Amino acid sequence: MLSVVENGLDPRAAIPVIKKKLVASVKALQKQYVSLDTVVTSKDGDANTMCSALEAMFIHGLHAKHIRAEAGGKRKKSAHQKPLPQPVFWPLLKSVTHKHVISELEHLTFVNTDVGRCRAWLRLALNDGLMECYLKLLLQEQARLCEYYQPTALLRDAEEGEFLLSFLQGLTSLSFELSYKSAILNEWTLTPLALSGLCPLSELDPLATLGAELQRKESLDSISHSSGSEDIEVQHSGHKIRRNRKLTASTLSLDTASSSQLSCSLNSDSCLLQENGSKSPDHPEEPMSYDSDLGIANADESDRSLQE
């Protein structure tokens, strides 16, 4: 575990940085997609920025005991590359997640670390339109939040929590189909760590970020992201959004790791799900896909893997 984090942002100074990135990326996605009958995929740079901001939201203010020096994956490091801190909060996410979703994430072929499961969980939650509901459940788990987060953490600030819940309702106008089965997710990348204050923001090189984005778009133009699953509809606050993935239950209040905590908050209009199946779709694992961080350490390594 890491005992201290050096050269990062002051914890309170990181909060407006995270919010600014989140608000800007979601507004950009709404402007581009709200009038279109298309899904948001991992090819979209604003979607990647949004994922990084949401990841930073969960990383911000974690106790040092939940920050590892290594992710535990098998990914090779360059000789000149400095290891990045690897926050882990998978047990916390499991406490509010449907057991079928947990099982799916823990049996992914290419995602084999707890870091990877945290990152895959976030993308799957967006795909299923459940991010706001999950966050609402987590904010009710004050004892667990105290165990994982410092008093200055974003998720322990009641006022900021209300803002996040209100803002994330804007995601109801968007339909996501983000890739969550890639081995790239097994380790954290620089952007969410820098946004959360664990790494210096100065390490984010705008030129490197742009170059990585262009290379990724060119190298993955030929990769198909079709899911092959039946369409369902998720009803959220009166809006119907087409999804290309079957959910495991009509609500999250069934068979969860802490089901007694789930039933109290999922009766709101924002968490209504219209069930159209009880199994996740069976389609092949995706060995590689976009990362949420387009300006990351290991960008060249990732690009080579994707091209292969």
Residues 6+ apart with CB under 8 A from 166: none
Q: Indicate the fold that domain 11-69+89-192 takes in CATH.
A: Methane Monooxygenase Hydroxylase; Chain G, domain 1 (1.20.58)
Pick the more confident residue, 101 or 213. 101
Split at pLDDT 50, 70, 90, the class of 204 is low
Is the model more confident about 50 or about 8? 50
What's the confidence (pLDDT) of residue 41?
Answer: 96
C-alpha 37: how far from its chain's center? 23
Helices (H), ranges, 141-258: 142-148, 158-168, 190-196, 206-219
Distance CA 274, CA 271 (A): 10
Query: How far apart are alpha carbons 258 and 221 in whole angstroms?
Result: 41
pLDDT at 83: 85
Q: Which residue has the higher pLDDT, 271 or 116?
A: 116
Q: What is the band of 35 on the pLDDT scale with cuts at 50, 70, 90? A: confident
Check residue 34 and give its pLDDT. 86
The pLDDT of residue 71: 52
Residue, of 108 and 36, whose pLDDT is higher: 108
The partner residues of 98 in beta bridges, in order of sequence, read 256
Residue 304 has pLDDT above 90, yes or no: no
- In this prediction, residue 200 carries a pLDDT of 83
Closest by CA to 162, choosing from 189, 135, 141, 196, is 135
Determine the pLDDT at residue 305.
43
Residue 81 DSSP label: P
pLDDT confidence tier of residue 205, bands split at 50, 70 and 90: low
Rounded Cα distance, 90 and 115, in Å: 7
Q: What is the reported pLDDT for 75?
A: 52
Stretch 20-48: mean pLDDT: 94
pLDDT at 303: 45
Name the E strands within the chain: 40-41, 67-68, 86-87, 176-177, 232-236, 239-243
Q: Which whole number is the average pLDDT over 196-214?
A: 62
Query: Counting beta carbons within 10 angstroms of the beta carbon of residue 75, is it exposed (0 to 12), middle (13 to 18) or buried (19 or more)?
Result: middle
Mean pLDDT of the 118-125 span: 98
Tell me what pLDDT residue 37 has.
Answer: 84
Identify which of 81, 303, 306, 308 has the alpha carbon closest to the alpha carbon of residue 212. Answer: 303
Cβ proximity of 47 and 41 under 8 Å:
yes
> For residue range 70-113, what is the model confidence (pLDDT) as tens digits?
655 555 555 456 789 999 999 999 999 999 999 999 999 999 99
CA-CA distance, 169 to 172, in Å (whole number)? 6
Residue-wise pLDDT tens digits, 246-301: 444 334 544 454 443 444 444 444 443 444 444 444 444 444 444 544 444 444 44
CB 266 within 8 A of CB 284: no
Q: Do 93 and 121 meet the contact criterion of CB atoms below 8 Å apart? A: yes
Select from 244, 306, 282 the least CA-distant residue to 107: 282
Give the pLDDT mean for 188-201: 91
Question: What is the reported pLDDT for 295?
Answer: 40
Checking if the pLDDT of 172 tops 60, the result is yes
- Cβ neighbours for 71, distance < 8 A, ≥ 6 positions apart: 86, 113, 115, 116, 186, 187, 188
Ramachandran area for residue 299 (φ above 0: left; ψ -120 to 50: alpha; else beta): alpha
pLDDT tens digits, one per residue of 225-254: 433 333 333 334 344 444 444 444 334 544
User: What percent of the chain lies above the pLDDT cut of 70?
Assistant: 59
How far is it, in rounded angstroms, from Cα 136 to Cα 14? Answer: 22
Question: Please, what is the average pLDDT of the chain?
Answer: 74
